[in-house]
Amino acid sequence: MNTESIQNEIVDDFSVLDNDFEMTLNYLMEIGEQLEAYNEENRLDENLIKGCQSKVWLSYKIKDNKFFFTGDSNTAITKGLLSLLIKVFSGQSADDILNTKLFFINDTGLCRFIGTQRSNGLEAMENKFKIIALSNKNG
């Protein structure tokens, strides 16, 4: 599935919550809890995403020119957001990752919950996926 279809699916999932703040937060935390357990060996400073208020780790492996991400966060809500980003970007090629325009944050209404200070953290997370893709593009 391409990143656009995955994002559309996420938007559909969230639409049933009708923008209710509390239900959305709880759903986001549930999504985070479902994230595959992070390999403790990868819990290294070099895998930390700089620019996030909470701690966010991201690692990856490449198989058949496709990227597969795993990650973790010390806060439940950020972990939920990270989990959604991993869902969008995992299994994609470097070019697909780099060409993806993230629209699900706005279209789900999650932007309202992220806030202006924390949106820098979201940007840092998105950038990290793209930097990983870019730096491995010709590798």
Partner 1 sequence: MMNSFPVDIIRKDFPILNKKVNNNKLVYFDNAATTQKPNIVIDSLSNYYRNYNSNIHRGVHTLAEKATQEFEETRSFVKDFINAKSENEIIFTRGATEGINLISSSYCRGFLKKGDEIIISEMEHHSNIVPWQMISKEMGLKLKTISITKSGEIDLNNLKSLLNNKTKFLSIVFISNTLGTINPIKKIIKICRNYDIKCLIDGAQASAHTIVDVQELDCDFYVFSAHKMYGPTGVGVVYGKENILEKMPPYMGGGEMIKDVSFKETSFNKLPYKFEAGTPNIGDVIGFKESINYINNIGRDIIEDYENTLRDYTKNKLQKVDGLNIVGTANNKIGIFSFTIDKVHYFDLGLLLDAKGIAIRTGHHCTQPLMEKYHLDGTARLSLALYNTKDEVDYFIESLNKIISK
Which residues are the active-site residues? 52
**Closer by beta carbon to partner 1, 62 or else 111:** 111
Establish if 38 lies at the interface with partner 1 (CB under 8 A).
Answer: no
Q: Which of 60, 54, 71 is nearest to 134 (CA)?
A: 60
Task: Give the binding range for partner 1 (CB under 8 A) out of 9-17, 38-46, 59-67, 73-81.
Answer: 73-81
* Six-digit token string for 35: 């994230």
Q: Identify the residue whose tokens are 């202006």.
A: 116
Q: How far is the CB of 83 from partner 1 (least distance, A)?
A: 14
Residues in CB range of 3: below 8 A, 6 or more apart: 88, 89, 92, 96, 97, 100
Q: Which residues bind partner 1 (CB under 8 A)?
A: 20-22, 25-26, 29, 53-54, 74-78, 113
